[in-house]
Structure 1
Amino acid sequence: MVTIYDIAEKANVSAMTVSRVINNTGKISDKTRAKVRKVMEELHYVPNHTARSLVLQQTHILFLLITDITNPFYTTLARGAEDAAKKSGYRLLFGNSDESLEKEADYMSTILSSRVDGVLIAPAGDPSLPHLKSLQQHKVPFVLLDREVPGIECDIVLGDSKEGARGLVEYLLKQGHRRIAMINGSSSISSARLRLQGYQEALKLNDIGYEETLVLETSFGPLNDLIEIEQWLDQMEPAPTAIIAGNNMLAVEVIRLLRKRGLRIPEDRSIVCIDDFGPYSQMDPFMTVAAQQAYQFGYLGMQMLIERIKERESPQPWKKIVLPAELIIRRSVLPLKQNR
């Protein structure tokens, strides 16, 4: 096994100089640095990152925990996070909670035992508070993505969920729709609450009464039992002319169930949603959406996390970034006459 002493001897420098080249520290001439690196390549030297992390108290490994790997929003977010991590010399580990507090708890144990330098996390919801408190207690820097958790103060990157939902409802109203239903995520998730508020505000501003029967609260994550959604679609009377989905995955399930009933989109039912569909939307630009800046969520969140890690000794005030959504109009809405 090649050691730094073997490199030092062949390069005719001190072991300390070799160590500084490996760790990129200290003042060393470019000529000496190049010579040491050439010898390292000749001897096929592989740095012992584990030993180095014990000395520096850093692993240069970060963890990204998201809630639904099948959702294009989160896969695009993960790409942004990975790009930002790699740019700053960090490696990225990954976990998927499936909107499950139990899985999230398991990942928290893994995170704490792995000695990662920091965590970028989209929490399962408000009940994630104890998990985030444990990160604080163990002094693990973290940044929240997409969702706030009451009772925790930290850096966070959010989308403007309320304005995104309100913009979609207002667009439907301008197209003549008056009976608009909404399928949304759990009220234990801050972004779902804000999307419902945006829906309610848009109706109120246009003198349209809010009907609880037109709103279904379900899960943002993988849906194994669709009976609840099927019953909701069948029991709304009179049927809505349009539906707003709280995220893209819910929109897909609703469209699938509507088509199962022989209903066409948008001829028989219009539908819009929060979040776009990543590269898939380019293949068949069909759904009208309030598109969130998924890549920027991950990239900016990772930048904030790395900054927080670097300033651990002199922490700065918490930062909050709110990214606006973009209304993208496509073919999933049928304009109606105002008197319909």
Structure 2
Amino acid sequence: MVTIYDIAEKANVSAMTVSRVINNTGRISDKTRAKVKRVMEELGYVPNQMARSLVLQQTNLLFLMITDITNPFYTTLARGAEDAAKKHGFRLLFGNTDENLDKENDYIDAILKTRADGVLFAPAGDASLPHLEMLRRHGVPFVLLDREVPGIESDVVLGDSKEGARQLVRQLVSNGHRDIALINGSRTISSARDRLEGYREALKLNDLPYDEARVLETSFGPRSDLSEVEAWLDRMRPLPTAIVAGNNVLAIEVIRSLKAKGLRVPEDVSLVCFDELASYAEIDPFLTVISQQAYQFGHLGMQMLLDRIQTREEPGPWRKVVLPAEMIVRRSVQPI
């Protein structure tokens, strides 16, 4: 195994000079730096990343923690984050929590053990607060994505969930719908709370009543058993003429549950939702959606994280970015 002492001997410099070239520290002439690098290449030297990390107190490892890797919103977000990290010479590790606090806790342990330089974090919900406090106690910078957590101040990138929900309801009302239900994530998730609030505000603005029986709070993530969704549809009598889905996964589950009952979208029930369906939207543009800037969530969040890492000694004020969304009207709404 080639060592820095082998390089120093062949380049006729000190081991300290070689170390400074490897770690890009200290004042060294361009000529000496080029000579040392040439010898490193000749000898096939591979730096010991762990030792280098100890010297620089930096691993060049970042972590992205998301709640559902199968959701096209998060896969596109991850691409944006990875592109930004790679551009700045960082490697990105991924963790998928399924909105499960135990899995989230395991990933926090892994982040601390790998000495990751920072974390992009889509938290499972409000109960993620202790995990964020753990990162802060250990001095690990983080930026929140898509969700805020009460009790913690941090940089955060959000979508305008409240306005998005208002737009979806307005679109249905403009097509004559007066009985509009909502299937959504848990109120322990900030984006779900905002979507519920936007839904309620839009009903009120259009003189429509709010009915708890026409709102289902469940997981944003996928499930193999659709009994909960099917039971909710069975309880609503009469069936609403339209449904707002809090994300694309829930929209697909509503379509599957309606199909099991011999019902179609939009002929029997109109349906709108948050987030695109990736390749499916290209094959058959069907669902009317609030399309969020998923790539920008990841790319901008990563840039904010890198800024926070570089300025951790003199941190500036926390930043909150709310990305506007676009409504795309397609065939899933039947006018009344």
> What TM-score do you get using the length of structure 1 for normalisation?
0.95
Q: Which residue of 2 aligns with 1:285?
A: 285
1:108-127 equivalent positions in 2, closer than 5 A:
108-127=108-127
Give the secondary structure class of the aligned counterpart of 1:228.
helix
Q: Which residue of 2 aligns with 1:220?
A: 220
Which deviations, in whole Å up to 9, do the C-alpha atoms of 1:61-99 show, x marking residues without a partner? 111111011111111111111111111111111111001
Letter in 2 for 1:258: L
Letter in 1 for 2:43: L
The structural deviation recorded for 1:26 is 4.1
The structural deviation recorded for 1:13 is 3.6
Q: Which residue of 2 aligns with 1:250?
A: 250
Q: Which residue of 2 aligns with 1:17?
A: 17
Q: Would you say how many aligned residue pairs link Structure 1 and Structure 2?
A: 336
The structural deviation recorded for 1:27 is 4.6
- Structure 1 distance, partners of 2:34, 2:265, is 64
Give the secondary structure class of the aligned counterpart of 1:70.
coil
Percentage of pairs with the same residue: 73
The structural deviation recorded for 1:30 is 4.5
The structural deviation recorded for 1:113 is 1.8
The structural deviation recorded for 1:8 is 2.7
Q: Which residue of 1 aligns with 2:333?
A: 333
The structural deviation recorded for 1:28 is 4.3
Q: Which residue of 2 aligns with 1:180?
A: 180
1:146-161 equivalent positions in 2, closer than 5 A:
146-161=146-161
> What TM-score do you get using the length of structure 2 for normalisation?
0.96
- Structure 2 distance, partners of 1:57, 1:25, is 13
- Structure 2 distance, partners of 1:29, 1:330, is 63
Contact residue 222 and residue 250 of structure 2 kept, 8 A = no
The answer to whether residue 241 in structure 2 is matched with residue 241 in structure 1 is yes
Letter in 2 for 1:166: R
- Structure 1 distance, partners of 2:30, 2:332, is 60
- Structure 1 distance, partners of 2:240, 2:280, is 27
1:1-340 equivalent positions in 2, closer than 5 A:
1-336=1-336
- Structure 2 distance, partners of 1:187, 1:38, is 59
Letter in 1 for 2:67: T
Letter in 1 for 2:331: R
Q: CA RMSD in A?
A: 1.4
Contact residue 99 and residue 124 of structure 2 kept, 8 A = yes
- With over 3 angstroms needed to count, the CA separation of the structure-2 counterparts of 1:286 and 1:54, relative to structure 1, is same
- Structure 1 distance, partners of 2:173, 2:29, is 68
Q: Which runs of 5+ in 1 are unaligned?
A: none
Give the secondary structure class of the aligned counterpart of 1:333.
coil
- Structure 1 distance, partners of 2:309, 2:127, is 26
Contact residue 23 and residue 56 of structure 2 kept, 8 A = no
Give the secondary structure class of the aligned counterpart of 2:171.
helix
The structural deviation recorded for 1:38 is 2.7
- Structure 2 distance, partners of 1:330, 1:29, is 63
- Structure 1 distance, partners of 2:197, 2:25, is 52
Bigger drift between 6-15 and 59-68 goes to: 6-15
Contact residue 122 and residue 144 of structure 2 kept, 8 A = yes
Q: Which runs of 5+ in 2 are unaligned?
A: none
- Structure 2 distance, partners of 1:283, 1:28, is 57
Give the secondary structure class of the aligned counterpart of 1:238.
coil
- With over 3 angstroms needed to count, the CA separation of the structure-2 counterparts of 1:130 and 1:5, relative to structure 1, is same
